Amino acid sequence: MKQWLRKSLIVIVSILTFGTVTPSHALWSEEQGVPKSQQRGASSADQSAHSTTVEASLQSEDDKLDKDQFIADMTVEAERQAFLKFGPKISNVIENEFREVVLPNIESAIQMTATQFPEDALVNLEITETPGGGVSEKIFHIFNNETQQDIIRFHVRRDKPPLEGYTFNFHYHTYHDQFQTHYTLGTIYWDKNTPPKWKAV
């Protein structure tokens, strides 16, 4: 039966019976004239193909979630390390601006780093746990725990432009150029007075 005729019959039966009678399943089926053994074979092949597609889709989603989870975990730890470095005296002043201006850029840099590695290599990337104190620039580094080599370094520098107050310049360096280039993450103004040392309580 031609497809347009089949569809027309289905619509007419549904309208005339106000939907109380549903057309026979045979009207819906396009495999009506096909022997049952072939129908089962085709159905099995379709199910197998569908199953493979679903598994591939789920696998792809799992990979995405793994990378997303890596970025989320690293960002949380990055924030923790930053506030350890700031200490209470500096945190109380710049906390909100850091979260609004700098932290999203740190997350973007972590995301950029994650895309450079295959999923199974991300488990080897860790964050250092000792931010620099005093006037050290180091906030944290992400390194490969197998090679012990740094991949990306997150720093903050104290600047004092002439006739202006102190600012904190947040930036990062990567291993691609032996950590030479400064990539800016954001700048936060402090005050005309000298800021306390990092980690100061």
Residue 167 tokens, joined: 């600012």
69-101 per-position pLDDT tens digit? 999 999 999 999 999 999 999 999 999 999 999
Enumerate the domain spans of the chain.
Answer: 61-191
What's this model's pTM, rounded to 2 decimal places?
Answer: 0.68
DSSP type of residue 170: E
Query: From the CB of residue 123, how many other CB atoms can be counted at a distance below 10 Å?
Result: 12
Instruction: Quote the tokens at residue 125.
Output: 């990337």
pLDDT tens digits along 125-141: 999 999 999 999 999 99
Spatial contact of 119 and 63, defined as CB atoms under 8 Å apart = yes
Q: What is the pLDDT of residues 163-185, one digit of tens each?
A: 899 999 999 999 999 999 999 99
Q: Average pLDDT, stretch 102-113?
A: 97
pLDDT tens profile 13-71: 555 555 555 555 444 444 444 454 454 454 555 555 555 555 555 455 554 548 999 99
pLDDT of the residue at 163: 86
- Alpha carbons within 13 angstroms on the beta-carbon side of residue 74 total 30
